[in-house]
């Protein structure tokens, strides 16, 4: 049996380092009662500037929540070592717990439901390390993954929520008191060796800063672009491996115009468990309606494989909406996603050329330019049943894109469709 990590020893090592360097870092501590907090506060206040976050939606009834809150305030006010300790007490919202554990009500104590409860509380604490601490609840999570953020907190690791069962754990997005399942329908991942270079190249191409980390939600459509035909196989194996490791990932295969055996390559893509292909004609140097691509489109259509098209750019005609319209005129049943609300920088052309076409769109790399009224016109042109939320990560963080999305002020039903339901329907999850 492998040795377990000694977190107490690791913490003491960190404290020794801070003492030697004469540092007193800030630290956010989660608490759901006073007795459990007292020994921790006694040990750490000499070494950290501490803020205590009181939060646990699993406490019942509300009177008990208020009683624990009051006792924690009393403890902090009376302990000699806690004169500089701040307290943030969040509102009582039991619906957050009920939603997270739906379907796990009959699991015995100590089982999966408990681990979900741990994650709710620690995620809230972790996300608040990346944004201002206040009692005003934010609608969205911080742009860090759960484990990345936990490690980020003073570099103190927390060994919880390590047990997972496929399909059980969900990440939720909260807005105006409503919890939503969320899928990112447009994100890019790259092998570690080339990730930095690839991200820099994308940023240079669009003259935009790139995000460094992202937060997967319930599902996360991941893809990459092959600029050389010999890259296709390795990219697709990489994406498939990541999808196997992270069940929340839904992968698309890379493709290249110069692939000779279309059926063989599509067989390999499907054998890897990938759900379609991604094309970026501007990067790859061919027009969407290139005659050489028609056999590829027909083969994908026969297999019911969606194609994600990068769409639109004022500098290029290769990805113009009219190019996709030409394809759909010949293959009206082709299942395709026109990224960037049908055409980055060419939204009016997209609405005109793709009117009535069998096409899905995502919101990626559009909401940062379009004002809410313009974005709504595009969305309503295609219909909320055909629109999916997407970030174009690493172009944008999930936090910023969710802010832009909710600024559109759609109702709960429309939000549910665009944030998750349409994605689930398209990819038959």
Mean pLDDT for 410-418 is: 96
The rounded mean pLDDT for the chain is: 81
Side-by-side strand order, sheet with 219-223: 183-188, 219-223, 249-251
User: What integer pLDDT is reported at residue 107 of this predicted model?
Assistant: 81
Q: Give 140's DSSP letter.
A: S
Provide the 10 A C-beta neighbour count for residue 258.
13
**Whether residue 281 has pLDDT greater than 90:** yes
User: What integer pLDDT is reported at residue 147 of this predicted model?
Assistant: 35
**By CB neighbour count within 10 A (0-12 exposed, 13-18 middle, 19+ buried), where does 3 fall?**
exposed
Mean pLDDT for 15-33 is: 86
Higher pLDDT, 399 or 127: 399
**Whether residue 141 has pLDDT greater than 70:** no
Looking at the chain, how many residues does it have? 429
**Whether residue 159 has pLDDT greater than 80:** no
User: What integer pLDDT is reported at residue 192 of this predicted model?
Assistant: 53
Residues 6 or more apart from 281 whose CB is under 8 A from it? Answer: 287, 288, 309, 310, 318, 319, 323
315 conformational bin, left if phi > 0, alpha if psi -120 to 50, beta if neither: alpha
User: What integer pLDDT is reported at residue 190 of this predicted model?
Assistant: 65
The CA-based diameter of the chain, rounded to the nearest angstrom, is 78
User: What integer pLDDT is reported at residue 393 of this predicted model?
Assistant: 80
Q: Distance of alpha carbon 353 from its chain centroid, rounded?
A: 31
Q: Give 180's DSSP letter.
A: E
186: helix, strand or coil: strand
pLDDT grade, residue 395 (50/70/90)? confident
Q: Distance of alpha carbon 372 from its chain centroid, rounded?
A: 22
Cα(261)–Cα(306) distance, integer angstroms: 19
**Whether residue 233 has pLDDT greater than 90:** yes
**Whether residue 196 has pLDDT greater than 60:** no
Cα(427)–Cα(429) distance, integer angstroms: 6
Worst-scoring range by mean pLDDT, 126-130, 188-192, 198-202, 362-366?
198-202
Full-model pTM: 0.59
Q: According to the per-residue pLDDT averaged within each range, which of 42-46, 150-154, 269-273 is highest? A: 269-273
Cα(369)–Cα(335) distance, integer angstroms: 27
Higher pLDDT, 153 or 256: 256
Place of tokens 């997407």: 390
User: What integer pLDDT is reported at residue 82 of this predicted model?
Assistant: 78
User: What integer pLDDT is reported at residue 133 of this predicted model?
Assistant: 44
Q: Are 193 and 157 in contact (CB under 8 A)?
A: no
**Whether residue 338 has pLDDT greater than 60:** yes
Cα-based torsion angle of the residue sequence 35, 39, 40, 41 in order, rounded to the nearest 10 degrees: 90
**In this structure, what are the phi and psi dihedrals at residue 121, rounded to the nearest 5 degrees?**
-70, -45
Percent of the chain with pLDDT over 90: 42
Mean pLDDT for 374-383 is: 95
pLDDT grade, residue 204 (50/70/90)? very low
**In this structure, what are the phi and psi dihedrals at residue 423, rounded to the nearest 5 degrees?**
-60, -45
For residues 32-49, one letter each, b for 16 or more C-beta atoms within 10 angstroms of the residue's C-beta and e for the rest, the string is bbbeebbeebeebbebbe
pLDDT digits (tens, 9 = 90+) for 236-276: 998 999 888 888 889 999 999 999 999 999 999 999 999 99
pLDDT grade, residue 294 (50/70/90)? very high
């Amino acid at each position: 049996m492998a040795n377990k990590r000694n977190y107490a020893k690791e913490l003491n090592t960190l404290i020794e380092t801070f003492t030697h360097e004469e540092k007193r870092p800030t630290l956010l501590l989660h608490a759901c009662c006073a007795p459990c907090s007292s020994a921790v506060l006694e040990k750490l206040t000499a070494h950290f500037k501490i803020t205590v976050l009181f939060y646990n939606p699993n406490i019942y009834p509300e009177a008990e929540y208020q009683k624990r809150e009051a006792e924690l305030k009393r403890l902090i006010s009376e302990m000699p070592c806690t004169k500089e300790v701040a307290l943030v007490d969040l509102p009582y919202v039991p619906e957050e717990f009920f939603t997270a554990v739906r379907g796990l009500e009959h699991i015995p104590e100590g089982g999966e439901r408990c681990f979900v409860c741990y994650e709710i509380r620690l995620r809230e604490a972790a996300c608040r390390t990346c944004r201002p601490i206040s009692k005003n609840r934010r609608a969205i999570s911080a742009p860090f993954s759960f484990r990345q953020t936990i490690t980020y907190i003073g570099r103190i690791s927390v060994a919880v929520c390590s047990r997972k069962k496929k399909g059980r754990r969900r990440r939720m997005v909260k807005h105006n008191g409503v919890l939503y399942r969320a899928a990112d329908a447009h994100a890019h991942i790259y092998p570690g060796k080339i990730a930095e270079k690839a991200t820099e190249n994308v940023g240079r191409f669009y003259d935009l800063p790139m995000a460094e980390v992202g937060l997967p939600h319930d599902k996360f459509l991941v893809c990459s672009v092959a600029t050389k035909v010999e890259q296709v196989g390795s990219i697709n194996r990489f994406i498939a491996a990541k999808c196997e490791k992270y069940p929340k990932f839904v992968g698309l295969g890379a493709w290249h115009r110069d692939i000779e055996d279309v059926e063989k390559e599509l067989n390999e893509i499907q054998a890897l468990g990938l759900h379609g292909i991604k094309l970026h004609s501007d990067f790859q140097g061919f027009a969407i309606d290139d005659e050489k691509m028609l056999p590829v489109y027909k083969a994908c259509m026969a297999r019911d494989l969606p194609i994600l098209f990068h769409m639109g750019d004022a500098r290029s005609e290769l990805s113009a909406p009219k190019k996709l319209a030409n394809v759909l005129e010949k293959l009206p049943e082709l299942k395709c996603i026109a990224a960037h609300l049908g055409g980055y920088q060419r939204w009016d052309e997209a609405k005109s050329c793709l009117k009535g076409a069998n096409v899905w769109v995502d919101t990626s790399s559009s909401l940062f330019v379009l004002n809410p009224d313009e974005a709504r016109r595009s969305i309503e042109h295609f219909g909320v049943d055909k629109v999916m939320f997407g970030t174009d990560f690493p172009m944008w963080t999930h936090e910023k894109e969710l802010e832009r999305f909710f600024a559109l002020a759609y109702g709960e039903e429309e939000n549910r469709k665009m944030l998750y339901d349409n994605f689930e329907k398209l990819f038959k999850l």
